[in-house]
Amino acid sequence: MAKANMIAVIDYGAGNIRNVMKAINYVGLPAKLTKDPQEIAQAAGVVIPGVGAFKTAMEQMQANELVVPIQRAAKSGTPILGVCLGMQLLFDSSTEFGKTTGLGLIPGEVVELPQNSGYKVPQMGWNENIVQQASPITTGLAGEYTYFVHSYYVQTAAEYIAATVDYGVQVPSVVNKDNIWGAQFHPEKSGDVGLKVWQAFAKMVEENA
């Protein structure tokens, strides 16, 4: 049985944990930073935070034996939200510093933003979201600006893309497959718009608890 609304924030040494924890607490849910498989299994929701490199993150995930517990939580129907690098980790693989296998929760590959598009790499700053599919996470997101910091982006099928931003290429900003969600931007750094994302996720968690 799931704990009452507890969010397991995956602890694999990623940055920006404090802001993520504060944002989750702000929308009324208790959050616990954990690498304990039992706590991940019992959580009503799972958040995968992160800034940095895909390869290093997956090495830390493997070293801390977190991959299987996250995959099991996903399979059980637990709502999962990956943020920034955490979103990229949801996919099959990345080309960053050599091909690296990801969590495999959504089909697709993470590749470098094009260097010849006239846009600076990394994308760093605010960009306007274009909603591709109506969903709880994208409600109120159309035409709104959110904060991005990344050099790589996801290439995946249209069916998994809930919102995009234009950065020389169409960059998926929100992705979804069943109970798995990802935001390429930082909701915790995106003001009121970002808080709506956390609130939408909180509602999913409460319904799942």
- Catalytically active residues are 84, 186, 188
Q: Are 170 and 164 spatial neighbours (Cβ–Cβ below 8 Å)?
A: yes
Residue pair 48/83 in contact (Cβ under 8 Å)? The answer is yes
For residue 38, count other CB atoms closer than 10 A to its CB.
Answer: 9
Backbone angles phi, psi at 18, to 5 degrees: -60, -45
Antiparallel, parallel or unpaired: β 45-48 and 80-83: parallel
As a whole number of angstroms, the distance between CA 165 and CA 3 comes to: 36
- The dihedrals phi and psi of 61, each to the nearest 5 degrees, come to -60, -45
Q: Is the peptide bond before 122 cis (omega within 30 degrees of 0)?
A: yes
What would you report as the CA-atom Rg of the chain, rounded to the nearest whole angstrom? 16
| Phi-psi group of 34: left, alpha or beta (phi > 0 → left; psi -120 to 50 → alpha; rest → beta) | beta
